[in-house]
Amino acid sequence: MTTMISHIFLQHYWWIIISLLGSLLVFLMFVQGGQSMIFSLPGNSLQKTMIVNTMGRKWEFTFTTLVTFGGAFFASFPLFYSASFGGAYWVWIAILFSFIIQAIAYEYRSKPSNVFGQKTFDVFLYLNGSLGPFLIGAAVATFFTGSQFSLNEMNQVKWATPWHGLEALLNGRNLALGLAVLFLARTNGLLYIINSVEEKELVARSVNKLTMNSIVFLVFFLFFIITLLLSSGFAYDQGTGTVSMEKYKYLHNLIQMPLVMILFLAGVVGVLSGIGITLFKGSREGIWYAGTGTVLAVFALLLIAGFNGTSFYPSSYDLNSSLTIDKASSSLFTLKTMMYVSFIVPLVIAYIWFAWKSINNKRITEEEMKTEGHIY
Amino acid sequence: MFENPDLALVDWSRAQFALTAIYHWLFVPLTLGLSFIVAIMETIYYRNGGEEWKRMTKFWMTLFGINFAIGVATGIILEFQFGTNWSNYSWFVGDIFGAPLAIEGILAFFLESTFVAVMFFGWNKVSKRFHLVSTWLVAIGANLSALWILVANAWMQNPVGMIFNPGTARNEMISFWDVLFNEVAVSKFLHTISSGFLVGSMFVLGISAWYLISKREELLAKRSILIAGIFGLLSSLLVAYTGDTSARTLAKAQPVKFAAFEALYDVTQNADLVAVGVLKKSEKKIGDKDLNDFVFKISIPGFLSVMTGGDQSAFVPGINDLINGNSSQGIISVAEKMERGKTARNLLNEYKTAKQNNDLMRAEGILGMFRDKKFNDEYFRYFGYSFISKPEDVIPGVQVSFYSFHLMVILGFYFILVFALALYFLFRGTLQSRRWFLWVALCSILLPYVAGEMGWVLAEMGRQPWIIQDLMPVSAAVSQIGSGSVIITFLLFAVLFTILLIAEISIMIRQIKLGPKH
């Protein structure tokens, strides 16, 4: 019994870590959000350079968080890794492609003899900025809407459609979350530029764009949340090991886990506050409110996807192939070993904060773009 | 389980992984080596405050940055490909294999990515000391990330520290330390990172030689050659030492691979080490596989026995012994391993049936067998052989193994000579007048890449047909997707990586021609 409790505890512990990484990833996609406006936001080439360099100094964090998110999923819930990546092949490959082209675009865009010209690498940044958040959002939406797969007795995945994941893009709710994540990334990207750049015209242009991006984000976000709370969800009965549809499952999850509901509401308030103080009070600190809000809201959403007897990666094709945190997890030993490793995370966060603060202690200026040795 | 694999799918999935790995390994070794060289240069700048050292540091750092980004880009594909293309494998071993990948992210990637920003953008924003620490942390982070992925790879070559759970149909970790300190992992890590140091050193040596040939940046070039020469010589000696250690561990963990790269078929005692040789197809066969004869060879008598067993009388099994068995040496035949593997697999199927029929007593009995050490040692360890249809299928490509190994070793000795000569001429003050040597150094830049790729060809093709040694063949590990999908993504990756490589080389050459900023 003790072993069982420990294993259950560790499964929950690791779902919390995964949710935290996922929420940090969504926040850090402000980099992608900024990239998606590389052609529409700047008024001149210097402003474009400032945007690229503002985002470019943080792209590694987003990239590393994505890689760590994948690695942590593999280590803690390997059945999700094998079922989702091996099944929804095309969605994940598209996400990967969009991130490959980002990694080199920053470093190569302004270098002489880059063969393909700056415009090509800027298009790479734009594609990553637009497709990355949208596809990741749509993929995460399948945690709530289900996917078309089945598992055999050896836990090997078989996808039920030849589209291998692309069919998820035909679901309106998946599209809504994809677009919500994209416009949230753009909103956070604008807030980050407002916070980090010392150039009046660019800041003013960012504030102007913020209104429309925030509204579009809110429309898609509210559509997704309302349909989520009113729809049936994938309930897991641990006693029988079966998954069934339960009306208002995610609403029930929020009500039955009040702390999660508080986190979610606090997150929504945080995002709205960040936008509000920027638009109405002219504050340049909105990113920290919206960023914290993003982390809290996404964290809470991922918790209601996996906790309280819920399948976090449901199969709408074969309900009993749906993945739950106990069915998909690693062994007790591995989760325990990984828990010890996770104790180092506060140290990692501490040095990231310290290094971030050191680099961001002054806003990016026009002067710096002309004198700095390493410019993207 | 794993029935009727689509061979086109298996081959294209292997090709895609090989393509990604080969491209990735074009960039990573330079990151591993150049990061330390830059850190050493910056340390000297920190200690003596010389602006020329700062200029040097910044110049090599620029080249480091150009290479670093593309290494990161190709790396993400490798991690996710375990899931996208090898999903059966991901489940079968995810309990063990995933942990090093997660630790790599938490411990190494964040260290690298956090401080690389300080390294590039912090010159005017943080103190000299903090900047120096950041540069060292980037180097340490890059090499730590190599540790964890190599631990994962070594586990595939020599699976240890786990037990099979028939309930979940996967292997589960029971000793993290056994996985981390797997003897293949230790030698592989040291061998691989030292080969990366060598790549970085030869890169710096070759480019510095070009500056001397062009009579430009002579002070920078000589100082760079001093650092690259010492670092490169030490690294190439370490590569040779760890290569020897790796070969010894392989002789125990993967004897068929070991015999293949020495093209050793029928040797018992006093085995010779082939230093150089040329193979040709023999008229003899093992099953339907051709053997190879030597057209010519230069051997060191008895050295292979000394190397693997400590003295000339030590027995070194050849491929024939390993395939057909050798009872006097306690080697069981592949046919016998296939039978034992099938016994284990049948029991697994029986367990599943018992569970379905609610025959809990039988299920518990089988579960107990899988937990029994004797059963694991005598049966389950050959589980993968149950998928093998003919004994000779476990023989990897002998020619590819032999040539990749020998080319790598010959180049390894060549690198020691080049670095030793560079230092000798530098200390004698004759380096600039030895133009032939400067050209040799310049032309040698690509050779450590060749050696490194040969090492991976040997490591990965030499262990075929296994994705996990003796436990799972590649054909059983592949994701159930259409081969057409994999062909398309293979082509997309090939085009994209090639485009990026062309851009990288072009930018790199231009930056070298521009030289350090004044």
The Cα of B469 is separated from the nearest Cα of chain A by a number of Å equal to 20
Q: Check whether A40 has a pLDDT greater than 90.
A: yes
Domain membership of residue A282 (yes or no) is no
- Best-predicted range by mean pLDDT among A103-117, A288-302, A343-357, B114-128? A288-302
Q: Is the dihedral of CA A310, A313, A316, A319 positive or negative?
A: negative
DSSP secondary structure string for all residues of B464-503: TTEEETTTEEHHHHS-S--HHHHHHHHHHHHHHHHHHHHH
Question: How far is B449 from B434, CA to CA, in rounded Å?
Answer: 25
Position B104: which residue type? E
**Which portions of chain B are predicted below pLDDT 70?**
1-5, 268, 518
Whether B135 maps to a domain, the answer reads yes
Mean pLDDT (chain A) is 93
How far is Cα B75 from Cα B113, in angstroms, rounded to an integer?
Answer: 14
Please say if the pLDDT value at position A3 is more than 80.
Answer: no
DSSP lists the bridge partners of residue B170 as: B165
pLDDT tens digits for A92-144? 999 999 999 998 999 899 999 999 999 999 999 999 999 999 999 999 999 99
In a shared domain, residues B136 and B241: yes
pLDDT digits (tens, 9 = 90+) for A143-157: 999 999 999 888 888
Max alpha carbon distance in chain A (Å)? Answer: 67
Could you give the ipTM of this predicted complex? 0.89
Question: Does B518 fall in a domain?
Answer: no
- Across the interface, whether the CB atoms of B98 and A81 are under 8 A apart is answered yes
**Residue B517 is assigned to a structural domain of this protein:** no
**Residue B100 has what pLDDT?**
84
Same-domain pairing of B210 and B314: no
Inter-residue contact A347 to B110 (CB < 8 Å) = no
Examine the fold and report which residue of B370, B396, B422 is the final residue of a domain before the chain moves on.
Answer: B396
Question: Are A338 and B66 an interchain contact pair (Cβ–Cβ within 8 Å)?
Answer: no
Contact (CB, 8 A) for B196 and B28? yes
Q: Is A74's CB within 8 Å of B102's CB?
A: yes
Inter-chain residue contact A96 with B80, CB threshold 8 Å: yes
Claim to verify: residue B206 and residue B330 sit in the same structural domain: no
- What is the least distance, in Å, from the CA of A67 to any CA of chain B? 7
Percent of chain A with pLDDT over 90: 77
**A85: nearest CA partner in chain B:** B84
Round to the nearest angstrom and report the end-to-end CA distance of chain A: 57
pLDDT band, very low/low/confident/very high, at A26 (cuts 50, 70, 90): very high
Q: Give the residue from chain B lying closest to A21, CA to CA.
A: B106
Output the pLDDT for position B315: 87
Shared-domain flag, residues B321 and B430:
no
CA distance B138 to chain A (A): 13
Instruction: Note whether B98 contacts A63, CB cutoff 8 Å.
Output: no
Judge if B278 and B249 occupy the same domain.
no
Q: In the listed set B346, B372, B396, which residue is the last one of a domain according to the structure?
A: B396
Task: Determine whether the interchain pair B482/A162 forms a contact, defined as Cβ–Cβ distance below 8 Å.
Answer: yes
List of chain A residues whose C-beta atoms are within 8 Å of the C-beta of residue B86: 86
In a domain, B259, yes or no: no
User: Are B475 and B392 part of one and the same domain?
Assistant: no
CA A333 → CA A13, A348, B165, B169, B280, distances in Å? 14, 24, 13, 16, 50
- C-alpha span between A223 and B122 (Å, rounded): 43
> Using the beta-carbon criterion (under 8 Å), do A107 and B65 form an inter-chain contact?
yes
pLDDT tens digits, one per residue of A63-73: 989 988 888 89
Amino acid type, A124:
F
Q: Do A71 and B105 touch (CB under 8 A)?
A: yes
Query: In b/e form, how buried is each residue of A5-35, taking b as 16+ CB within 10 angstroms?
Result: eebeebbbbbbbbbbbbbbbbbbbbbbbbbb
Whether B396 contacts B463, CB under 8 Å: yes
For an interface test with A, the pick among B82, B114, B118, B162 (most A C-beta atoms closer than 10 Å) comes out as B114
Per-residue HEC secondary structure of B268-292 comes to: CECCCEEEEEEEEEEEEEECCEEEE
Q: For residues A4 and A331, is the Cβ–Cβ distance under 8 A?
A: no
Tokens encoding B101: 């990948």
Provide the shortest C-alpha distance from residue A16 to chain B (in Å): 15
CA distance A155 to chain B (A): 7
B1 in any annotated domain: no
Please state, in angstroms and rounded to a whole number, the distance separating the CA atoms of residues B508 and B505. Answer: 5
How many contacts, defined by CB atoms under 8 Å, are there between A and B?
271
Which of A113, A331, A358 shows the shortest C-beta gap to B118?
Answer: A358
CB contact under 8 A, A81 and B109: no
SS3 for B203-244 is HHHHHHHHHHHCCCCHHHHHHHHHHHHHHHHHHHHHHHHHHH
Q: How far is A251 from chain B (nearest CA, A)?
A: 32
Token pair 């450590």 is at which residue?
B448
**C-alpha B13: how far from chain center:** 19
Residues of chain A found within 8 Å of residue B480, distances taken between Cβ atoms: 86, 156-159
CB atoms within 10 A of CB B509: 11
The answer to whether position A257 is within a domain reads no
Q: Give the best residue of A52, A96, A136 to mutate against chain B (max B CB count within 10 A).
A: A96
Look at residue A84 and tell me if it is in a domain: yes
For residues B371 and B472, membership in a common domain is answered with no
Task: List, in order, residues 6 or more apart from B70 with CB less than 8 Å away.
Answer: A103, A104, A107, B27, B500, B501, B504
Considering CB atoms only, which of A57, A337, A358 is closest to B176? Answer: A337
Claim to verify: residue B374 and residue B384 sit in the same structural domain = yes
- 3-state class of A241 per DSSP? coil
Q: Do A71 and B104 touch (CB under 8 A)?
A: yes
Enter the tokens of residue A107.
């470093």
- Residue A327 pLDDT level (bands cut at 50, 70, 90): very high
Suggest the residue from B2, B57, B91, B136 to mutate for an interface test with chain A (most A CBs closer than 10 A): B91
pTM, whole model, 2 decimals? 0.90
User: Considering the domain boundaries, does residue B172 fall inside one?
Assistant: yes
CB contact under 8 A, A83 and B79: no
How many domains does chain B divide into? 2
Which range marks the domain in which residue A100 is found? 2-216+311-371
**Nearest alpha carbon to residue A89 among B487, B98, B100:** B487
- Cβ distance A93 to B105 less than 8 Å, yes or no, reads no
- How many domains are contained in chain A? 1
Within a domain: residue B182? yes
Q: Please, how many CA atoms are within 13 Å of residue A111, restricted to the half-sphere of its CB?
A: 28
Which one-letter DSSP state was computed for residue B315?
Answer: B
Coil vs helix vs strand at B316: coil
Can you tell me the distance from the alpha carbon of B268 to that of A245, in angstroms, rounded to the nearest whole number? 66
Same domain, B335 and B277: yes
Q: What is each CA distance from B511 to B28, B207, B506, B516, B517, in whole angstroms?
A: 19, 11, 9, 8, 10
Read off the pLDDT of residues A210-267 as tens digits, 9 standing for 90 and up: 999 999 999 999 999 999 999 999 999 988 889 999 999 999 999 999 999 999 999 9
Q: Which domain holds residue B454?
A: 7-254+397-512
**pLDDT computed for residue A369 by the predictor:** 87
Task: Please state the length of chain A.
Answer: 376
Whether residue A175 is contained in a domain is answered as: yes
Verify whether the Cβ–Cβ distance B479 to A155 is below 8 Å: no
Domain endpoint, select from B343, B366, B396: B396
Do B343 and B378 belong to one domain? yes
Cis peptide before B465 (omega within 30 of 0): yes
Q: Closest approach of chain A CAs to the CA of B142, in angstroms?
A: 13
**Which residues are CB-contacts of A325 (< 8 A; sequence separation ≥ 6)?**
A11, A12, A14, A15, A77, A306, A307, A312
Distance, CA of B234 to CA of B237 (rounded, Å): 5
Reduced to 3 states (helix: H, G, I; strand: E, B; else coil), residue A150 is: strand
Residues A168-214: tens digit of each pLDDT: 999 999 999 999 999 999 999 999 999 999 999 999 999 999 999 99
Contact A344 B106 (CB under 8 A): yes
Q: State the pairing for strand pair B472-473/A149-151.
A: unpaired
What share of chain A has pLDDT > 70, as a percent?
99
State whether B329 and B417 are in the same domain.
no
Residue B348 and residue B490 in one domain: no
Compute the half-sphere exposure of residue B215: CA atoms within 13 Å on the CB side of its CA: 1
